Amino acid sequence: MRPVRRFVPRLAARVALAATIALACATAAATAVALASTPPVPHLTYIVGLGTSNPQAVVSNVDGSGPVMLGQATSALLSPDGTQVAAIDTGTSSTLTVYPSAGGTPRVLPTSKSFMQLLAWSPDSKLLLVAVGTTPRGKLIVFDVAASPVTSTTIATGVLNGASFDPGGGADAIVYSLATNAAGTSFNLFLTTPSGTPTRQLTHDNHSKFPVWGQHGIAFSRLMTPAKGGTPMLQLWFIKPGGGGLRQLTNVTDAPAKSTGLTPIAFSADGEHLLANYIGPNLNWHEAYVLDLSRPKPQPRDLTGQNDGTTIGDAMSVAGGLVLATTGTSSDQAALSIEEFKWSGGKPTVLAKSGAYASWNL
């Protein structure tokens, strides 16, 4: 499944929060791997050299073997069929490049002076969803990478907080979070298509962010104020694309002061397993959480059981039995590593000793 990871100003501090929150949204595309018309080529992609002047995107076998450097990048996202890696290099400007996983000539797409963020691939690996800019003039853009030359369509403008494709494919429906007031503080979910029309507002609570679309509906974060008062924090909610089935999934009440809360990252293909990230009182504290949505009242569970804020959930396997995560702290990016965890728990497997912010199509 696809990361966490993440609309904020995800280099240094931007990389840290974006890696957990909105590469929240970018992770959703992997859910649709099982729906591909041909068997996907299993690959893993991630970033090495963060914190240096030359960070690089890497593609490898899904077990971490055979790593190949692709090019300079600060974020990367593997297509569901495993044949392409989209990568963004955020230097003095942001450059979007699509690399063939098997090698060959990369395609350099637009360069922007604004911060660019990878959000999701469409289930058929033909469309790429990218956010450009974090100001009121931000844009949500769909790139048709199957077209020659590549075409792009701006489907929303304003202050955005995540987006995701419908994993069922079909018309490639898209859900996104957009500020609905001039101050950029009230967010609701909207549904649209790759052409940007028609568009329909899905929520009206003014606190809906970071949507991730699964088999049975959309998980998202809603800002909630504790019943007994205190600092508002993000809780996980669920809604069906038709607007029904709205329900609260989590009610974390023992969080430290000034915690951001929970953001969804990825679904299993059957929509029963949900991966989320809990963001603590500062941008360096992240913990991967999992929820079993087959239960009437799903209980969020700390994936590692350590509660030490050193695990960023990046992606989930299609079957839901494995979780891909970046471990370490974003304050020491050179020490970050990529590990594979079993949903049921146990000792993780290290896939890359030096690497961060991974995606796969396992």
Residue 281 CA to residue 73 CA, distance in Å, equals 28
**Encoding tokens for residue 67?**
């790593």
Q: Which residues of 283-322 are buried (b: 16+ CB within 10 A; e: fewer)?
A: bbbbbbbbbebeeeebebeebbeeeebbbbbbbbbbebeb
How high is the pLDDT of residue 351?
97
Residue 6 forms part of a structural domain: no
The DSSP annotation for 293-328 comes to TTSSS---EESSS--SSBEEEEEE-TTSSEEEEEES
How high is the pLDDT of residue 11?
32
- Cα within 13 Å of Cα(243), Cβ side: 9
Residue 1 forms part of a structural domain: no
292 DSSP 8-state letter: E
Residue 9 CA to residue 105 CA, distance in Å, equals 31
227 in Cβ contact with 211 (< 8 Å)? no
**Encoding tokens for residue 263?**
């953001």
Query: Residue 4: CB partners within 8 Å, gap ≥ 6?
Result: 19, 20, 21, 22, 23, 24, 25, 26, 27, 263, 265, 266, 277, 312, 313, 314, 315, 357
Residue 273 CA to residue 281 CA, distance in Å, equals 26
End-to-end CA distance of the chain: 7
Residue 7 forms part of a structural domain: no
**CATH code for the domain in which residue 133 is found:** 2.120.10.30
- Residue 195's CB is within 10 A of a number of other CB atoms, namely 12
Residue 5 forms part of a structural domain: no
Residue 342 forms part of a structural domain: yes
Q: What is the pTM of this model?
A: 0.88
Residue 3 forms part of a structural domain: no
Residue 87 forms part of a structural domain: yes
Across the strands, what pairs with 356? 47
**Encoding tokens for residue 35?**
């729906």
Residue 119 forms part of a structural domain: yes
Domain span including residue 318? 12-360
251 DSSP 8-state letter: -
The DSSP annotation for 182-220 comes to TTS--EEEEEE-TT--S-EE---SSBEEEEEE-SS-EEE
163 in Cβ contact with 129 (< 8 Å)? yes
Number of domains in the chain: 1
Number of helices and strands in the chain (H, E): 2, 28
How high is the pLDDT of residue 38?
56
Q: Which residues of 97-117 are buried (b: 16+ CB within 10 A; e: fewer)?
A: bbbebeeeeebebeebebbbb
Candidates 149, 168, 161, 215; CA nearest to 188 is 161
- pLDDT tens for the chain, 362 residues long, are 333 333 333 333 333 334 333 444 444 443 443 333 456 678 999 999 998 889 999 999 999 999 999 999 999 999 999 999 999 998 778 999 999 999 889 999 877 888 899 999 999 999 999 999 877 789 999 999 999 999 999 999 999 999 999 998 767 899 999 999 988 889 999 999 999 999 999 999 999 999 999 999 999 999 998 777 777 899 999 999 999 999 999 998 877 777 899 999 999 999 999 999 999 887 678 999 999 999 888 999 999 998 888 999 999 999 999 999 999 987 788 889 999 999 998 899 999 999 999 999 99
